[in-house]
Amino acid sequence: MTKAGSLLLGLLAGHPLMGAGLTVDHVTAAGKDVHAMQRALEAAGIPSEYGGPHANHATEMALTSFPDGSYLELIAIQAGADPKAVSASPWHRCMEGNAGPCGWAVRPTDMAAETERLHKAGIAVTPPARNGRRRPDGVQLEWETAQAGTGNGDFFPFLIHDFTPRDRRAYPGGKPTTTNYTGVVKVVLSVKNLDAAIAQYEHAYGLAAPRREEDKAFGAHLAWFEGTPVVLAAPDSSQSWLAQRLDRFGELPCAFILGRAAGNPGNGQHISWFGKPVAWLAPDTLGWRLGVE
């Protein structure tokens, strides 16, 4: 049977293609000091809100939420953190190395169904684990997450489902932090082997072949699965910054791209990715790559 025939049978059997359901819940950038990260993001023109410490005694976060419901999370080592808890965090190298982009999450409509689908597709997936944090205003948030692949949203996104109302997590101030951007529209994942990474995504999410480009300024060969936020980026040489990042942190997000809201003229020089202009926001100030298209 052809791949197209198999995918059609999957639809008829009640297992919808999940590529269209790769809805970004949030993306995460890691650093040592969350308040320093907030100041750098503010200098790049994007406000954020402090969200409080996690219950793991290791991390704390701030966020910038957008009108489409997605948000950018800044995660760092909390004040007075338990060193053992920090070492146990899967993001400890990224936080200590001020890596910036380090993970991403999607919110499936049915957590149990999606974990079962991934399992049947041969993708390693953990049972959902409960977690939470208390906002600075005292509001308690509770959710569960399931890790796919190697885990923690590095290559495949992790899954998240809220027990408390999601708006309390995404909109601590009761509304989007900023309306100058629509939300997170692309997650750029650094990969060692582009063809192998493409095959893994095609298999896991039933995706059609991606569009390919090369961006010499970015130092990468790119592949975008149209209709999804997923862009894969492989170094175009061993001297590329991307190759050095892969050596240091492994395969995980290396950049995020936001959608520009109507009326936001933007600034900076634009490049073109897959027919759309992209501008990188103050990379020297941020220390990592955040784009706008």
Could you tell me if residue 247 is inside a domain? yes
Query: Are the beta carbons of 146 and 159 closer than 8 angstroms?
Result: yes
Greater confidence (151 vs 231) lies with 231
Domain end residue (candidates: 135, 170, 205):
170
CA 211 – CA 61 distance, rounded (Å): 35
Q: Looking at residue 124, what is its pLDDT? A: 96
pLDDT above 80: residue 14: no
Report whether pLDDT(9) > 60: no
Provide the strand spans (E) within the chain.
Answer: 24-30, 49-53, 59-65, 71-77, 100-106, 129-134, 140-146, 158-162, 181-190, 211-215, 220-224, 230-235, 253-260, 270-273, 276-280, 289-292
Examine the domain organization and report whether 71 and 209 are in the same domain: no
In a domain, 2, yes or no: no
Is residue 15 scored above 50 in pLDDT?
no
Answer yes or no: do 29 and 120 share one domain.
yes
The reported pLDDT for the residue numbered 268 is 58
Per-residue pLDDT, averaged over 203-227, amounts to 96
Q: Are residues 105 and 195 in the same domain?
A: no
Task: Report the CATH number that the domain containing residue 112 is assigned in CATH.
Answer: 3.10.180.10
68 in a structural domain: yes
Of 17-21, 74-78, 130-134, 192-196, the one with minimum mean pLDDT is 17-21
- The average pLDDT across 2-23 equals 47
Distance separating alpha carbons of residues 24 and 184, to the nearest angstrom:
7
pLDDT tens digits, one per residue of 145-204: 999 999 889 999 999 999 999 999 999 999 999 999 999 999 999 999 999 999 999 999
Is residue 150 situated within a structural domain?
yes
Lowest-confidence region among 178-192, 261-275, 279-293: 261-275
Residue 112: what pLDDT? 94
pLDDT at 4 over 90: no
Q: Which of 266, 279, 257 is nearest to 101 (CA)?
A: 257
Could you tell me if 77 and 218 lie in one domain? no
Residue range(s) defining the domain that contains residue 122: 19-170
> Is 5 part of any domain?
no
Residues 231, 166 share a domain: no
pLDDT at 265: 58
Choosing from 145, 170, 195, the residue where a domain stops is 170
Q: Report the C-alpha gap between 167 and 277 in whole angstroms.
A: 31
- What does the pLDDT read at residue 54? 86
Domain count, the chain: 2
Do 60 and 102 lie in one domain? The reply is: yes
Average pLDDT, the chain: 90
Within a domain: 10: no
Both 102 and 218 in one domain: the answer is no
Residue 273 covered by a domain: yes
Q: In this structure, are 213 and 152 located in the same domain?
A: no
Res. 17 pLDDT band, cuts 50 70 90: very low
**In this structure, what token pair is assigned to residue 161?**
């489902």
91 and 143 share a domain?
A: yes
The least confident of 2-11, 163-172, 202-211 is: 2-11
Residue that terminates a domain, selected from 144, 170, 196: 170
Residue 104: inside a domain, yes or no?
yes
- Do 71 and 188 sit in the same domain of this protein? no
| 53-73 tens-digit pLDDT | 888 889 999 999 999 999 999
The verdict on 120 and 234 lying in the same domain is no
- Predicted TM-score (pTM) of this structure: 0.91
Do 230 and 209 belong to one domain?
yes
Instruction: Note the pLDDT of residue 267.
Output: 62
pLDDT at 19: 59
